[in-house]
């Protein structure tokens, strides 16, 4: 009877153990991870349908001579379009949600460590303003016809704003000295009749060239995303789903989903399952919060680690991105003339106008806790020049319950600051020589004076250069699932990707030196102890024999 009970116990226990071991393997039979399956369901069969053909529109048959004339035609049907657009940051260049007096935004006092600030440099910078004629701070932001519909909606690919034309295309063929290219006036009728939903090319015309050139500002946005393959971006790949930007940056009344300065892209994380009208701006919107196959601890990461941290192992994987910009070296001349030096990766390593550059390709991001909000200095904020000044930095920490570890490109450099007032300075870079522009005179003193004057800021007249850094969240260039950051690139004792993030325990990286020391000491002690004991017994047997 007893033996029978034992046998049953043994068989039962064995069966349970086998089951426990095999269950995860059996569960693994579904080939697609749940998150992929959800996303596929959410996106499959998307066919756009359109009820209007702009080629046939009467309003677009007239002879156009300028952008604003086209806009007026657009508004004859789309009566609310400009008014909607006026409310967005694409128009105001100011954070619509922050205190107006603080002036957060390009048109305000926000800074970066590329061309620093737009004020006094408008005609050059506003070639990326979706409007016409933003040539200085007196621009009329109430004008409906000055909205540039075409730059975002035209589909011929021939519409180009002149790089220093305050948002206007060239009126007649004109060479831009900066790149020696000739800019032609657009064929407005063709362009206007081609309009449709914005594509990667529309958005990319500005956003791939942030910071003044291809891939300068963002490591995850550059011209390689015009026609990417799946290896570069698994969603946008033209050999795959061929996502356009607007597939994720969903839009309501011309207000496009995405982070704006301190305002996160989305209030809280949720998927389309929880809210079918939620913006699709997060990975989770389609992939859910438990996207991985059930086995392992992968899904247990999603509340603390953003998808991007693992799924964008490196940024700037095709085109290089700027990693260092030292303004203090600007102004050197060769034979009395400005010059440029081509460096590694085929990119300039020096330019008299701008200083010294370093570029990076296949760069591993830096990681910070991030709650979706990016803080930044304005030209009024006091800095400590004794240390590297953070021009922008991610908000959040390990303990606030909503931050996650997120990858960033960190752009470093040196830029001018006021030695007395301890503020970062806005240089007047672009303009005619007579205006005191740096690119005309190579005179910092003058350019900084003019910049401060224009922006209405205090300036002591004493300046120097300080090292700064600025952060850019890395969220595009999502790699296919076989190209991800491996567990041990973070879960490792030394030099892991998260080596600098403290305040939390991470297996494989963190140890208690005391426990480990005492633990191993005890192990050595135990081994020594039993060895000595064994030796004692051997001697004992020889001496006393065994009874």
The nearest distance, CB 14 to another protein, in angstroms, is 8
Query: Which segment (12-20, 250-258, 371-379, 471-479) binds another protein by CB under 8 A?
Result: 12-20
Is 171 an interacting residue with respect to another protein (CB under 8 A)? no
# residues near another protein by CB under 8 A: 55
Among residues 362, 310, 295, the alpha carbon closest in space to that of 482 is found at 310
Give the separation between CA 488 and CA 469, rounded to whole angstroms.
28
> Using the rule CB under 8 A, which residue among 184, 334, 445, 493 binds another protein?
493
Give the separation between CA 186 and CA 178, rounded to whole angstroms.
20
> Using the rule CB under 8 A, which residue among 296, 346, 456, 461 binds another protein?
296
Characterize the bridge pairing of strands 389-390 and 463-473: parallel
Give the separation between CA 189 and CA 263, rounded to whole angstroms.
38
Looking at the Cβ atoms of 341 and 526, the one nearer to another protein is 526
Is 388 an interacting residue with respect to another protein (CB under 8 A)? no
**Among all chains, which residue has been given the structure tokens 């226990």?**
13
> Using the rule CB under 8 A, which residue among 274, 295, 384, 464 binds another protein?
295
The values of phi and psi at residue 473, to 5°, are -60, 135
Is 27 an interacting residue with respect to another protein (CB under 8 A)? no
Is 49 an interacting residue with respect to another protein (CB under 8 A)? no
Is 488 an interacting residue with respect to another protein (CB under 8 A)? yes
Burial class (CB in 10 A: 0-12, 13-18, 19+), 358: middle
Is 532 an interacting residue with respect to another protein (CB under 8 A)? no
Query: Which segment (73-81, 436-444, 453-461, 480-488) binds another protein by CB under 8 A?
Result: 480-488
Partnered with residue 342 across adjacent β-strands are: 348
> Using the rule CB under 8 A, which residue among 1, 4, 5, 48 binds another protein?
5
Among residues 468, 33, 479, the alpha carbon closest in space to that of 228 is found at 479
Is 487 an interacting residue with respect to another protein (CB under 8 A)? yes
Taking a C-beta distance cutoff of 8 angstroms, is the pair 42, 283 a contact?
A: no
> Using the rule CB under 8 A, which residue among 1, 4, 20, 26 binds another protein?
20
Is 510 an interacting residue with respect to another protein (CB under 8 A)? yes
Is 420 an interacting residue with respect to another protein (CB under 8 A)? no
Looking at the Cβ atoms of 21 and 500, the one nearer to another protein is 21
Give the separation between CA 372 and CA 267, rounded to whole angstroms.
9
User: From its phi and psi, is residue 157 left (phi > 0), alpha (psi between -120 and 50) or beta?
Assistant: left
The nearest distance, CB 408 to another protein, in angstroms, is 24
Is 6 an interacting residue with respect to another protein (CB under 8 A)? yes
Burial class (CB in 10 A: 0-12, 13-18, 19+), 541: exposed
The nearest distance, CB 512 to another protein, in angstroms, is 5
Is 16 an interacting residue with respect to another protein (CB under 8 A)? yes
Give the separation between CA 216 and CA 210, rounded to whole angstroms.
6
Structure tokens at 131: 């409007």
Residue 60 CB contacts under 8 Å (≥ 6 apart), including other chains:
54, 73, 189, 192, 193
The nearest distance, CB 515 to another protein, in angstroms, is 5
Taking a C-beta distance cutoff of 8 angstroms, is the pair 392, 403 a contact?
A: no
Is 513 an interacting residue with respect to another protein (CB under 8 A)? no
Is 380 an interacting residue with respect to another protein (CB under 8 A)? no
Is 515 an interacting residue with respect to another protein (CB under 8 A)? yes
Query: Which segment (10-18, 26-34, 42-50, 340-348) binds another protein by CB under 8 A?
Result: 10-18
Is 29 an interacting residue with respect to another protein (CB under 8 A)? no
The nearest distance, CB 161 to another protein, in angstroms, is 49
Residue 449 CB contacts under 8 Å (≥ 6 apart), including other chains:
436, 459, 461
Give the separation between CA 405 and CA 413, rounded to whole angstroms.
24
Is 516 an interacting residue with respect to another protein (CB under 8 A)? yes
> Using the rule CB under 8 A, which residue among 316, 321, 505, 513 binds another protein?
505
The nearest distance, CB 471 to another protein, in angstroms, is 27
Residue 545 CB contacts under 8 Å (≥ 6 apart), including other chains:
none
Residue 37 CB contacts under 8 Å (≥ 6 apart), including other chains:
none
The nearest distance, CB 77 to another protein, in angstroms, is 52
Is 541 an interacting residue with respect to another protein (CB under 8 A)? yes
DSSP 128: G
Give the separation between CA 483 and CA 19, rounded to whole angstroms.
32
The nearest distance, CB 266 to another protein, in angstroms, is 21
Is 274 an interacting residue with respect to another protein (CB under 8 A)? no
Looking at the Cβ atoms of 77 and 294, the one nearer to another protein is 294
Structure tokens at 298: 């992968």
Is 537 an interacting residue with respect to another protein (CB under 8 A)? yes
The nearest distance, CB 523 to another protein, in angstroms, is 6
Near another protein in 299-358, by CB under 8 A:
300, 303
The values of phi and psi at residue 519, to 5°, are -60, -55
Q: Which residues bind another protein (CB under 8 A)?
A: 2-3, 5-7, 9-10, 12-13, 16-17, 20-21, 24, 295-297, 300, 303, 486-488, 491-493, 504-505, 507-512, 515-516, 518-520, 522-523, 526-527, 529-530, 533-534, 536-537, 539-541, 544-547
């Amino acid at each position: 009877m007893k033996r029978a009970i034992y046998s049953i116990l043994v068989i039962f226990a064995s069966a349970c153990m086998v089951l426990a071991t095999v269950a995860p393997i059996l569960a693994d039979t579904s080939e697609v991870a749940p998150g992929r399956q959800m996303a596929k369901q959410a996106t499959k069969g998307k066919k756009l349908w359109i009820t209007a053909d702009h080629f046939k529109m009467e309003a677009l048959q007239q002879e156009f001579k300028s952008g604003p004339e086209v806009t007026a035609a657009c508004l004859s049907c789309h009566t609310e379009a400009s008014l909607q657009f006026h409310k967005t940051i694409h128009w105001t260049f100011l954070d619509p949600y922050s205190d107006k007096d603080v002036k957060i935004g390009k048109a305000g006092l926000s800074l970066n460590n590329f061309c620093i600030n737009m004020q006094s440099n408008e005609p050059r910078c506003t070639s990326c303003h979706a409007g016409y004629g933003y040539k200085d701070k007196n621009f009329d932001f109430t004008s409906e016809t000055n909205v540039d519909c075409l730059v975002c909606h035209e589909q011929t690919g021939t519409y180009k704003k002149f790089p220093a034309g305050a948002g206007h295309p060239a009126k007649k063929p004109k060479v831009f000295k900066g790149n020696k290219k000739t800019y032609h006036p657009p064929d407005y009728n063709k362009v206007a009749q081609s309009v449709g939903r914005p594509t990667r090319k529309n958005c990319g015309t500005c956003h791939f060239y942030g910071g003044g050139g291809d891939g300068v500002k963002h490591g995850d946005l550059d011209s390689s995303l015009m026609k990417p393959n799946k290896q570069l971006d698994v969603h946008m790949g033209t050999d795959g789903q061929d996502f356009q930007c607007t597939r994720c940056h969903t839009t309501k009344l011309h207000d496009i989903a995405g982070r704006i300065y301190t305002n996160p892209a989305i209030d809280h994380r949720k998927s389309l399952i929880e809210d079918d009208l939620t913006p699709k701006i997060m990975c989770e919107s389609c992939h859910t919060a438990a996207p991985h196959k059930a086995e392992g601890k992968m899904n247990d990461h999603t509340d603390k680690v953003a998808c991007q941290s693992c799924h964008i192992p490196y940024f700037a994987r095709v085109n290089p991105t700027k990693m260092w910009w030292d303004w203090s070296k600007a102004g050197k001349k060769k034979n009395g003339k400005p010059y440029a030096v081509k460096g590694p990766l085929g990119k300039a390593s020096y330019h008299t106008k701008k200083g010294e550059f370093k570029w990076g390709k296949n760069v591993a991001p830096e990681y910070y806790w991030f709650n979706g909000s990016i803080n930044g200095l304005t030209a009024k904020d006091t800095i400590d020049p004794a240390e590297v000044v953070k021009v922008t930095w991610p908000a959040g920490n390990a303990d606030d319950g909503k931050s996650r570890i997120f990858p960033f490109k960190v752009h470093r450099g040196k830029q001018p600051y006021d030695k007395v007032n301890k503020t970062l300075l806005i240089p007047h870079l672009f303009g005619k020589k007579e205006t005191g522009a740096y690119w005309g005179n190579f005179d910092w003193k003058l350019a900084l004076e003019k910049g401060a004057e224009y922006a209405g800021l205090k300036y002591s007249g004493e300046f120097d250069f300080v090292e700064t850094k600025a952060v850019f969240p890395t969220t595009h260039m999502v790699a296919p699932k076989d190209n991800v950051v491996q567990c041990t690139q973070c879960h490792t004792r030394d030099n892991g990707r998260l080596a600098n993030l403290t305040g939390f325990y991470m297996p494989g990286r963190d140890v208690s030196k005391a426990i480990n020391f005492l633990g191993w000491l005890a192990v050595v002690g135990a081994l020594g102890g039993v060895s000595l004991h064994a030796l004692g017994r051997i001697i004992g047997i020889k001496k006393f024999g065994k009874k």
